[in-house]
Amino acid sequence: MPNTIHSGARRVQDALKALGFDLQVVELPQSTRTSAEAAVACGCEVAQIAKSLVFQGRHSQKPVLVIASGANRVDEKALAALIGEPVVRPNADYVREKTGFVIGGVAPVGHAQALDVFIDEDLLQYVEIWAAAGTPHAVFSLTPADLVKMTGGRVVAIKA
């Protein structure tokens, strides 16, 4: 990989390698900030985008990562039941502080701190999925099994 790779993308590439995955982060000229933009850039269905959404426990303030199919909305009541408290959508500063990434570039790995991870069961139907890689212009492809293994995430029904 070139030395000019963005630091966020480099951190994801290094995290993938440290976890034993031979997956390649790709930086693209077009935005991958939204699931629709990422699908166009990657040449896949919106549902194959593994979007990383950070939520915050309302009482504990604890960050929670949901990796959802790009075609799905997250059922916040179901998530609240899973973690035992209501959730809120945090602001961009909170997301960056807890993950080390900007919204639109939050990767499933390489976070600034450990996060509880929940994975949308709908992602498991695909042979290949795409995830953000540290910036709104970086992605990597992987299998759903790789996603579960690298994150230690719990596969759940989370679609609204």
Domains and CATH numbers, the chain: 7-156 (3.90.960.10)
pLDDT of res. 6: 85
pLDDT of res. 29: 87
pLDDT of res. 139: 95
3-class DSSP string for the chain: CCCCCCHHHHHHHHHHHHCCCCCCCEECCCCCCCHHHHHHHHCCCHHHEEEEEEEEECCCCCEEEEEEECCCCECHHHHHHHHCCCEECCCHHHHHHHHCCCCCCCCCCCCCCCCEEEEEHHHHHCCCEEEECCCCCEEEEECHHHHHHHHCCEEECCEC
DSSP code per residue over 84-97: TS-EEPPPHHHHHH
Question: Per-10-residue mean pLDDT for the chain, 160 residues long?
Answer: 72 96 93 90 95 97 97 97 97 96 94 95 97 94 98 96
pLDDT of res. 1: 41
pLDDT of res. 88: 96
pLDDT of res. 2: 45
**Cα–Cα distance between 97 and 90 in angstroms, integer?**
11
